[in-house]
Structure 1
Amino acid sequence: MRYLKQNGAGEELSTTWEETRGGGVSERIVAERGKKTELKGKQQDASTTMPTELEELVDFISHGNTQIRQLAVENLVPYSTSQPAIFKTNQLLPIKDLKLLVRDYKQIAKNAITILINLSSDREILETLSSDTDFLQTLLTRLTNPKEPNANLLCILLANLSKSDSLKSLLALERPIPNDLTAPNSPLVISQLLDIFVRGANGTYNPDADFDFLSYLFADLAKHSEGRKYFLSKQEYDGVVPLTKLTVFTEHKSEIRRRGVASTIKNVAFEIDSHPAFLSEDEINILPYLLLPIMGNEEYEEEDMNGMLPDLQLLPPDKMRDSEPNIIQTHVESLMLLTTTREGRDMLREVKVYPIIRETHLQVEDEGVREACERLVQVLMRDEDGDEKVDQGMTALSRDVKLPRTQSKPFGGSGNWVSAEKEEEEDDDDDDDDKIVEV
């Protein structure tokens, strides 16, 4: 996943610092700037010692006057992407001030969180934020408040902070159970966030938040062995395996939620010893949740259809596969991980995964999806004692397709929120979740 960046905080941010200097509250800021300049003394060389107007504006985010703070942070939002260095002065003092503003009035907090989201792509700032336990507690306290107006932004910030290994401490962190989390509940923070994420799907926890971006946090935490262990371990407080709370969202209407859940499943699937639980109908039962999103309304031979999982048979004629190629690719790669063991390969063959992958390869015009399908077919069609069936399977995948192939754009834009950044090369365990997402 990529770091998330906020381009602005609404219509009120369409003006710039220069445009707001004409009157009102901005006159008071200009007056304050004049006082500060006088204090520097006329003996100094202004060309080398006087701070820039932007640097002076940054100083006002800690001003005692609420209106001045609000105007300052509003106008600084665009500069958090274009000139992030102005926030790194005085040993990151502006960052310390912004952390305090997260607890300020609604609009001030919104802009402060937005700036921190944008600045968290800077490694030094990222480590400063993610290693601050008190700040993390502040974020969690506000996020778990069902009346928090900026809960979705807080989810984005947490998702970005999870790019630092420091945040895996979240997996062992405990805090008082929020009053609005219905029983059964857990003092474990990760369990609280997971339960809020589930309730956010239908808006029953906070009417102002869907908590979709928590799925990105889960995906990054699942890169760590401690995270995978958590998602695969039945919890004492409700007797449920956490991963099974996520699998039901692989066909959710929210692209963000589907993408984060798909990446979480894939990362957890690196835990090879747990593959029997993944495949068991009485445990995680992952196959229907991986296969349904990649299936459309194609018709299959009767023999193939009868061999498929019951949930995949007789799908409605209007059944559509996931609209995002990179999500489909992630699901196919998860299936590939499940072929690591002989038992997994035999299971996928038995339930006729090959015909589904064949149709996915044919119907989805995306290079990444097709390459993932071809790798999986090479495994499924191979005899355990030789390669005799591979050519036959690959030939079936090579049927002519009318439309040209297109290159996928991993984690592409979603409205005005998410824009793609260049992919970073990762190890297999890191998979897609080390990419940087910008809002």
Structure 2
Amino acid sequence: MQLALGLTGTDAGIQQLVKADAVKPLCRLVSDVNTIARDAIHALVNITATYPGACEAALKYDIVNRLMNQLDTDFVHKDLSMMLLANVTTTLEGAKALVDRDAKYKVREVILQKLTMLFLESEPEPEGVDPSTGEPKWDDDYQYIANVLANITQLEEGRDFLLQIRKSMTPPQALVQVLMPQIHSPNVVRRRGIVQAVRNLCFDSDNHFFLYDMIDVIGHMQKRLAGPEPLEIDEKNGMNAMVLECLGPKKKRESDVQVRQAAVECLLLLCASRNGRNILRQRKVYPIVRNAHLVESNDEVSDQIYKLVDFLIRDEEGDEPDWDEIRAKSLGVDNEHLPAPPAPKAADEPFESVLDKPKPKKQVELHDEEVDDNCAAALANEINILDVSSSEEEDDVPPLAP
């Protein structure tokens, strides 16, 4: 397994393993003992991050249910499992496999809710600085749940998962309500995933009143976009206490471009109705985004802020604008579908999508080494030998335990 894992450190190695159909036995080894399962999952993380077709192959071998079975045990490498779950749910089919209302959905829902609560209860611990990006590194076993939640909210079923009022919570509330503080987490993986999940919730105009009235999406996005610039008293009049408390010369504006973009798009989507635009005006969104626009270095984010400002300062005479037209103009989407996430990119490339692609740690670095077809086939055969159940097990994973 170590040699096979090492091959996933290069594109050439990954291509040869895929060609040798190593994905199937690797998926089966996910259910093996800890050490073997860990290496199999690590290899699949690297493969699915680099080769989009591997996500489809992994889904064929029921990787989602295998991972959910494993995550409901005392498996010690849950961070890798959730990274793989985040990778395969990037695709629409992968997201459907997790939230599809099939016979196993209720069990998956319970496990996913449990993982979400563990995500909320855990705190990221500093673990140095990533030399390639300069970003802080975090010891955070549950961080990739944020990516999974962003992925499943591409679908109505996933949005329902976050918006459903859960009587088991005290007081009864929706998961999104308790997830909102994660938008301000020091861990950028958490911030990106949750703000992008909330952005996806904003695509349903029926949710808007709940989002800005019950969970103050507007205030949370203002807090991410606010900077140290001073504001006049009348520019603050109407802002929520959460926003007012964060203002001042020491306030740092959100540093991550993906978080800033998703925050602006949340506000832009809330402009779908006249009432929504009036609420944004009353909460004094304009001075915050005006100052953000003056210092924004990313052209795409700057363009989105410009569109938002246009909605906020326009006259409100005449008929109500068409919601579908607003969506098309603002975000370039059609009338029925959320933006489809791009195919997963290689682990060492920046990922720009509805979610942040986890960057798997490469176990072994191979420098521009061509992998012999026979060698790759032999390795795939070795993996099959490790998969002692492969001759007895059906293609489908055993049912999730109730």
TM-score greater than 0.5 by the shorter chain: yes
2:92 equivalent in structure 1? 165
How far does the alpha carbon of each residue in 1:228-255 deviate from its partner, in whole angstroms, 9 at most, with x for none?
1222221232222111122111110001
Q: Matched residue of 2:186: which SS?
A: coil
What runs of 5+ residues in structure 1 fail to find an aligned partner?
1-69, 177-186, 387-410, 424-431
Q: Matched residue of 1:250: which SS?
A: helix
Whether 1:433 aligns to 2:354 is yes
Distance of 1:218 and 1:208 partners within structure 2: 20
Q: Matched residue of 1:420: which SS?
A: coil
2:177 equivalent in structure 1? 244
User: How far 1:74 moved relative to its partner?
Assistant: 4.1
1:23 equivalent in structure 2? none
How far does the alpha carbon of each residue in 1:385-438 deviate from its partner, in whole angstroms, 9 at most, with x for none?
17xxxxxxxxxxxxxxxxxxxxxxxx9xxxx976315x6xxxxxxxx3278665
2:223 equivalent in structure 1? 292
Q: 1:254 aligns with which of 174, 181, 187?
A: 187
Which amino acid letter does the alignment assign opposite residue 231 of structure 2?
Y
Q: 2:211 aligns with which of 257, 263, 278?
A: 278
Paired residue total: 315
Structure label with greater radius of gyration? 1
Could you list the runs of 4 or more consecutive aligned residues of structure 1 that deviate by over 6 angstroms after TM superposition?
Answer: none
2:70 equivalent in structure 1? 142
Q: Does the CA-based 8 Å contact 1:262-1:331 persist in structure 2?
A: yes
**Cα distance 1:130–1:357, how it changes in 2: closer, same or farther (>3 A)?**
same
Distance of 1:434 and 1:286 partners within structure 2: 19
Q: Does the CA-based 8 Å contact 2:162-2:175 persist in structure 1?
A: yes
User: How far 1:330 moved relative to its partner?
Assistant: 1.1
How far does the alpha carbon of each residue in 1:27-57 deviate from its partner, in whole angstroms, 9 at most, with x for none?
xxxxxxxxxxxxxxxxxxxxxxxxxxxxxxx
Distance of 2:254 and 2:301 partners within structure 1: 12
User: How far 1:331 moved relative to its partner?
Assistant: 0.1
1:28 equivalent in structure 2? none
Q: Does the CA-based 8 Å contact 1:77-1:114 persist in structure 2?
A: no
How far does the alpha carbon of each residue in 1:166-201 deviate from its partner, in whole angstroms, 9 at most, with x for none?
33242242339xxxxxxxxxx623322321221233
User: How far 1:382 moved relative to its partner?
Assistant: 0.3
Distance of 1:377 and 1:158 partners within structure 2: 38
Distance of 2:356 and 2:176 partners within structure 1: 22
Q: Does the CA-based 8 Å contact 1:201-1:210 persist in structure 2?
A: no
RMSD across aligned positions (CA):
2.9
Q: 1:197 aligns with which of 119, 144, 156?
A: 119
Q: Matched residue of 1:326: which SS?
A: helix
TM-score by length of 1: 0.65
Q: Matched residue of 2:254: which SS?
A: coil
Q: Does the CA-based 8 Å contact 2:90-2:151 persist in structure 1?
A: yes
Q: Does the CA-based 8 Å contact 1:266-1:333 persist in structure 2?
A: yes
What runs of 5+ residues in structure 2 fail to find an aligned partner?
126-137, 319-341, 361-402
User: How far 1:307 moved relative to its partner?
Assistant: 2.4
More displaced 10-residue stretch of structure 1: 233-242 or 350-359: 233-242
User: How far 1:142 moved relative to its partner?
Assistant: 2.8
More displaced 10-residue stretch of structure 1: 349-358 or 366-375: 366-375
Distance of 1:265 and 1:357 partners within structure 2: 19
Q: Does the CA-based 8 Å contact 2:2-2:39 persist in structure 1?
A: no
Whether 1:419 aligns to 2:349 is yes
Distance of 2:208 and 2:215 partners within structure 1: 9
Whether 1:267 aligns to 2:200 is yes
Q: Does the CA-based 8 Å contact 2:124-2:140 persist in structure 1?
A: no
Whether 1:329 aligns to 2:261 is yes
1:313 equivalent in structure 2? 244
Q: Does the CA-based 8 Å contact 2:42-2:80 persist in structure 1?
A: yes
List aligned pairs for 1:70-149, cutoff 5 A.
70-79=1-10, 81-89=11-19, 92=21, 94-120=22-48, 121-133=50-62, 135-145=63-73, 147-149=74-76
Which amino acid letter does the alignment assign opposite residue 235 of structure 1?
R
Q: Matched residue of 2:174: which SS?
A: coil
Whether 1:342 aligns to 2:274 is yes
TM-score by length of 2: 0.71
With a CA cutoff of 8 Å and minimum separation of 6, indicate the structure with the bigger relative contact order.
2
Q: 1:304 aligns with which of 224, 235, 238?
A: 235
Q: 2:152 aligns with which of 216, 221, 229?
A: 221
Q: Does the CA-based 8 Å contact 1:77-1:111 persist in structure 2?
A: no
Q: Percent identity?
A: 26
How far does the alpha carbon of each residue in 1:89-127 deviate from its partner, in whole angstroms, 9 at most, with x for none?
46x2x2222123324454443332122112225344212
User: How far 1:129 moved relative to its partner?
Assistant: 1.5
Which amino acid letter does the alignment assign opposite residue 253 of structure 1?
P
Which amino acid letter does the alignment assign opposite residue 161 of structure 2?
Y
